[in-house]
Amino acid sequence: MMFFLSSGEVKAQEGKFTYSVEKIWDKGTHAAFTSLVEFKGKYYITFREGYSHIFDQDGNAEGRIRILESKNGKNWKPILDEDIEGIDCRDPKLSVTPDGRLMLLFGGSMYRNRELKGQQGYVMFSSDGKTFTDPQNIVLNPDPVNDSNWLWRVTWNGDTGYGVAYGFGSAGRTLILYNTKDGVNYSQLKSFDFDGFPNETTLRFLPDGRMLMMVRRDADDRIGLWGVSEPPYKDWSISNMPLQVGGQDFVILDDGTVLVGTRSYFVGNHCKTIILRGTAEGGFEEVFVLPSDGDTSYPGLLVVGKELWVSYYSTAGVPGKAAIYLARIPLYALRKS
């Protein structure tokens, strides 16, 4: 089935169910790396906007962070356009803090002559979803000495947030699990010494308190890692996933089904954004391919009523120009029958 993603809504029949995909942002040259949450009855999508995946035509990397707001998931309006001079702001992630604030976490990379010279995590907060605090540096304790300081995502469980940081240098194989009470100051819980250049890591929690972890790897066999741990999250059971993952997010349904959004690398330069289905024990299988192509992935997943909403980006239809899309897929089509 061939898809051409236009500016309007596209409804497609897939087997015995109907889903929809709508382009919600294409005003810049390259919009990517999404995150999606519900906050005080409204929906929020954040993403990076820049000239390309990293560099502009002059070799500069100065991405900016945007947030869109919607009351119904169809009509979106921009509420935040944030940049930091000389910094490539990227990988924004939204979450809701225990005290009821919208939290925006993102990383800042400093490039000179196309070479990465440094990185720093930033955080902003909003009590009303309209006005945000100025970006402030996150603080990792103890300060990592091996450049493993890219805190990629924070997931809250009760009054505590958890996230995994990684690095880009020669010591980049070290992952560090942190926790936080305020979203600004983070304390180390555990370090992981995986091979294969592990990096982007998503954490989620089961109702019984167990933490689930999905790790991207970009070297050796590149196969993703799946981890399970009970409190206090010091001892982990780690297994291989059946495929390489990238830009991944996942949610846990009320019946224990785990739905994963990730990039599929099976078709060379024609990557796709796909949905996997599994359980807390693993056993993942591909169940859905989103209309996507080329530079694509970094989905945000959100269960809304009887649907799974998926924000993601893709260069489908216009090579080199990435836009933001929102798909709505009925949950019954993704659960195991």
Q: For residues 130 and 151, give the distance between their C-alpha atoms in angstroms, rounded to a whole number.
A: 25
Q: What is the pLDDT of residue 10?
A: 57
Phi/psi of residue 332, nearest 5 degrees: -65, -25
Per-residue model confidence as pLDDT tens digits over 33-71: 999 999 999 999 999 999 999 998 889 888 999 999 999
Q: What is the pLDDT of residue 15?
A: 67
Contact (Cβ atoms closer than 8 angstroms) between residue 165 and residue 144: yes
C-alpha dihedral, 96 to 97 to 101 to 103, nearest 10°: -70
Contact (Cβ atoms closer than 8 angstroms) between residue 82 and residue 88: no
Phi/psi of residue 297, nearest 5 degrees: 130, -145
Domain boundaries, the chain: 247-337
Q: Model-level pTM?
A: 0.94
| Type of residue found at 86 | G
Q: What angle do CA 151, 52, 247 make, to 5 degrees?
A: 35
CA distances from 147 to 106, 123, 165 (A): 16, 19, 9
Instruction: Pick out the chain residues at pLDDT < 50.
Output: 1-8, 171-172
Q: Which residues does residue 233 pair with via DSSP β-bridges, in sequence order?
A: none
Q: What is the pLDDT of residue 66?
A: 98
Q: Which residues of 125-156 are buried (b: 16+ CB within 10 A; e: fewer)?
A: bbeebeebeebeebebeeebeebbbbbbbbbb
Computed from CA positions of residues 250, 141, 161, 69, in that sequence, does the dihedral angle turn out positive or negative? Answer: negative
Q: What is the pLDDT of residue 116?
A: 87
